[in-house]
Amino acid sequence: MGLNLNQRTDDQQLTNADLQAVRQLVVEFTTRFLQTKDLSPIIKDLYAKDFINRYLKAKSNVLGRSSTLDFVPGVFYNSSLFAEASSEDWLRFYTAANNFMFFGIESLIKKSRDGAKIKPEDMYPSTVQTLLNTNANLSNMIVNKGSSKAVSSVEEMQKATAILEQAAALMREHTAGGPPLNLKEDELMKAMQDDKYFKPLVRTIDDKFFGFTSGTELIFINTPILFRLIIVKTNNKLEILWAEPSRDI
């Protein structure tokens, strides 16, 4: 994501009720993504309603017009797009990129059950790899072949988005069948309680991160499908502020 986050160094502790609610949100994010294989309805129901506009405003306030930034692993864009692309373009781009990353993670989980070492090219079928290689902005998403061409115009963003959506459609056909994880909520909740990987990190921000005022608490937490969430509590409601695939995949 690349956002600078000035924060206090002391860890904050969640109340038991908030901790339970955060874990429940993670479980809902996880189970719904596995069931639907589409981030769109999750964004509608579980995200902060203005999250993409907050992202754009926060980024554009601290970066110049010629900065190159990473969006998801293997995809870069030019900061000039903050002013040039619409929030609808950004939302579609975000959804398509993370849907595509989800399918790779799902494949990784399935294929790694037997303990075999998985290479990036094992995570997507050849048809999908060939499709992405037709676009210079996306050709490094699966296998890093060298320097990436940043998305630098609205037209390039829209073309990359369309290809990612096409790739996701191919992956839905390729991965038809049951999800790779047990979807029983009680078992997922227990797994999160027992594994330090799922321990939430709470930070109190000192600047206007995503447009929130100083003193706002943000919760960072990993999910069973290797996405990392940023959660904010406003008006006594927990909402997802951002979700992105782990950079350690």
Q: What are phi and psi of 248, to 5 degrees?
A: -100, 5
Task: Round to whole Å and give the CA distance between 198 and 195.
Answer: 6
Q: In the predicted model, is pLDDT for residue 11 greater than 70?
A: no
The answer as to whether 8 is a domain residue is: no
Is residue 110 assigned to a domain? yes
Give domain status of residue 1, yes or no: no
| Within a domain: 11 | no
The answer to whether position 103 is within a domain reads yes
pLDDT digits (tens, 9 = 90+) for 88-102: 999 999 999 999 999
- CB atoms under 10 Å from CB of 96, counted, come to 22
Looking at the 3D structure of the chain, how many domains does it have? 1
On whether residue 2 sits in a domain, the answer given is: no
Domain annotation covers residue 10: no
| Type of residue found at 123 | M
- Taking the C-alpha atoms of residue 245 and residue 249, their distance in angstroms, rounded to an integer, is 8
Q: Which two tokens stand for residue 97?
A: 């990129």
Compute the distance between CA of residue 5 and CA of residue 202 in angstroms, rounded to an integer.
13
pTM of the model: 0.91
- Of 230, 248, 246, whose CA–CA distance to 238 is shortest? 230
Q: Percentage of the chain with pLDDT > 90?
A: 61
5, part of any domain: no
Which pLDDT score, from 0 to 100, does residue 65 have?
60
Q: Which domain holds residue 152?
A: 16-245
- What is the pLDDT confidence band of residue 59, given thresholds at 50, 70 and 90? confident
